[in-house]
């Protein structure tokens, strides 16, 4: 699928799910906002994942991109050896910084299972629409 904004081939990356938690250059705004939530508290955690990850992607992605992202995550979750930790690991050489530490996120696979659950529920009608189309024609 060609991304209409960039004109380049769209390749879904699981790291996109966490883009709403990237506080690099937003330490005084988004970081302060996210400090209110405790990732160890299940209600806070699910709220943050829904609002800052899934809802953010809902506003910025068309149904085709959502389907491709969702499918990419589904395939990764079906792979028992997939390294989900790589997406939450801090890398000081990257121009990115997540609002929460690896310890605060806990088990990375569980985090992505929760994201998948929320995305499946929130994007249900769009996923259904996309599944009826031939994605090879996108």
- pTM as predicted: 0.91
Tell whether the model's pLDDT for residue 91 goes beyond 90.
no
- Provide the terminal-to-terminal Cα distance of the chain, rounded to the nearest Å: 5
Chain segment 43-66, per-residue pLDDT in tens: 999 999 999 999 999 988 899 999
Residue 92, pLDDT score: 79
Chain mean pLDDT for the chain: 93
Residue 97, pLDDT score: 92
Neighbours of 96 (CB within 10 A): 15
């Amino acid at each position: 699928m060609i991304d209409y904004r960039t004109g380049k081939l769209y390749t879904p990356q699981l790291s996109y799910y966490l883009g709403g938690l990237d506080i690099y250059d937003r330490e005084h705004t988004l970081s302060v906002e996210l400090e209110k939530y405790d990732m160890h508290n299940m209600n806070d955690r699910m709220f943050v994942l829904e609002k800052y990850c899934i809802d953010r992607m809902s506003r910025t992605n068309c149904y085709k991109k959502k389907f491709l992202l969702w499918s990419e995550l589904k395939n990764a979750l079906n792979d028992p050896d997939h390294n989900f930790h790589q997406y939450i690991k801090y890398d000081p050489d990257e121009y990115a910084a997540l609002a929460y530490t690896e310890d605060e996120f806990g088990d990375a696979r569980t985090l992505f299972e929760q994201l998948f659950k929320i995305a499946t529920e929130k994007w249900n009608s769009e996923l259904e629409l996309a599944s009826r189309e031939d994605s090879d024609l996108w």
